[in-house]
Chains A and B, each alone.
Chain A
């Protein structure tokens, strides 16, 4: 099985690709439009520097060869969502070619990376079969990057993994929102020899669903010795099936010509000046190599928070990777939500200090944990004592009230769960279940 993807991702610029219309349209429909993105006669496009830089950054990140001189082309076809009846895209001179993206240790070849404009959005109204188009042009002119892979993926799950990883990376690289609708995919899949293209699928989940459906459909057809026809199909999100695209009256001829309104761009220098920041997966990979961590653990750490991964690296330098990982993935990670909200340089330093002191034995682990807990709740160090609840006393009290549990524990160690649950509830999750379990078992053992 061979799967290749053409991935379109909306670039998170503030204004559109060829005009200054704001991209975040809260006043829609048709609330962020101008003569340029409506294709009014006399209007002229002008390229958004930021969009070009984002495109170059993505191409660079994927290790593409950057094309020295690029231009845009007019791809002419008629459709109600396309104001000029041509799409301004890149044809002969994509920003980058021949890159690679590694997923699960496997290299997926990237054929090309280019920039183009999004068309408007059509809302279909009326009876099925005779639907009218009502068009919203707020999306017209939103910058897209198109990433075209070689048919290097061999299962729908792998395609999903590719897209998920890609979005993770792009979030860090250029700040894409990661919402499902920011990504649209054309997927090529061949189970046998002939290739079928599923056009315009929105979001990662639907890509996997569409591909899975195609695998089953094509496999069944092959088993029944039926011929698979080379065609374009559509994915029906509601029914979860692919259906043949409507027969076109004739084959479009895009008749590409260069776009003279924009001129050309020599981007080698611009590309050299752009630094590719470390992305989540490359960082996890480095952790695996540098600190001997499991890749999945490293990925989890980086995914939790970029700041936490920073703290990890600083701690690793002081107290060793193993201890650093244990603290970061344990106490810090479990309180991270609270800590992140209050993150400041000072808090960052304080956390480093607490963990270092604990690791060096100057304070106890439980003290360190309590202090971290307090910080996550925004409490000052002085008020840590407030949290100094007598857990042991509480356990003893519950055990007193319920002798049957103590009795039960003799034959069934799971009976301790009753006490653990109660304590957890009373202390409102201020202590880890592990901590409470240890104390409860100790108390119960004593009473036997």
Chain B
């Protein structure tokens, strides 16, 4: 078994998604089927290297020059700020 409902439950918690009983059952079955098929990867030959991009993206750097292209007031409005601060949930 590639994945069990208990693991799916934990994955959903890590991803901050509440699952109903029905969803948990359905996604568990889907994921099990998908991962079962994906286990073919285990047969793939070892490869000595990996990269995070399919093309070589190396040493692309920006100069340390400050600038603000968009007025922060516009962004604050978009975020519905109160006293210029963004409202959020309880943190304690």
Contact = CB atoms under 8 A, between A and B. Distances in A.
Is there any pair of Cβ atoms, one from A and one from B, under 8 angstroms apart in the complex? yes
A258 interface: yes
Contacts of B88: 80, 122, 132-135
A260 B53 contact: yes
A320 B16 CA distance: 70
Given A38-B75, A264-B51, A129 B92 contact: yes
A32 B72 contact: yes
B67 A20 contact: yes
Given A34-B69, A252-B14, A255-B14, A131 B90 contact: yes
A135 B51 CA distance: 36
Interface residues of A, number: 54
Interface string A252-268: 11010011101111100
A71 B52 contact: yes
B58 interface: yes
Given A31-B72, A34-B70, A49 B62 contact: yes
Interface in B61-92: 61-70, 72, 75-76, 79, 81-92
Which 10 A-B residue pairs are closest in the complex by CB-CB distance? Answer: A263-B57, A80-B88, A258-B52, A50-B64, A134-B85, A133-B88, A22-B66, A49-B61, A15-B66, A135-B86
B26 interface: no
B20 interface: no
A137 interface: yes
A260 B58 CA distance: 11
A47 B64 contact: no
B36 to A, nearest CB: 22
B13 interface: yes
A51 B64 contact: yes
Contacts of B52: 71, 258-260, 263-264
Nearest to B92: A131
Given A20-B67, A30-B75, A46 B60 contact: yes
Interface size class of B (residues with CB under 8 A): 35 or more
Given A20-B65, A51-B64, 19 more contacts: A14-B66, A15-B66, A20-B66, A21-B66, A34-B72, A46-B60, A48-B62, A50-B64, A80-B88, A131-B91, A133-B88, A134-B82, A134-B86, A134-B88, A135-B86, A135-B88, A136-B86, A265-B58, A265-B61
Interface string B36-58: 00000000000000011100111
Contacts of B57: 260, 262-264
16 contacts: A15-B64, A20-B65, A20-B67, A30-B79, A32-B72, A46-B62, A50-B64, A124-B92, A132-B88, A136-B85, A136-B86, A252-B14, A260-B57, A263-B53, A263-B57, A263-B58
Nearest to B60: A263
Contact of B91 (A22, A38, A133): A133
Contact of A264 (B58, B64, B75, B91): B58
Nearest to A47: B61
A413 interface: no
A123 B53 CA distance: 38
B18 interface: no
A240 to B, nearest CB: 20
Interface string A30-70: 11111100100000001111111000000000000000000
A137 B86 contact: yes
A27 interface: yes
A80 B76 CA distance: 16
Nearest to B13: A250
B7 to A, nearest CB: 11
A23 B64 CA distance: 11
Most chain A CB within 10 A, of B58, B64, B65, is at B64
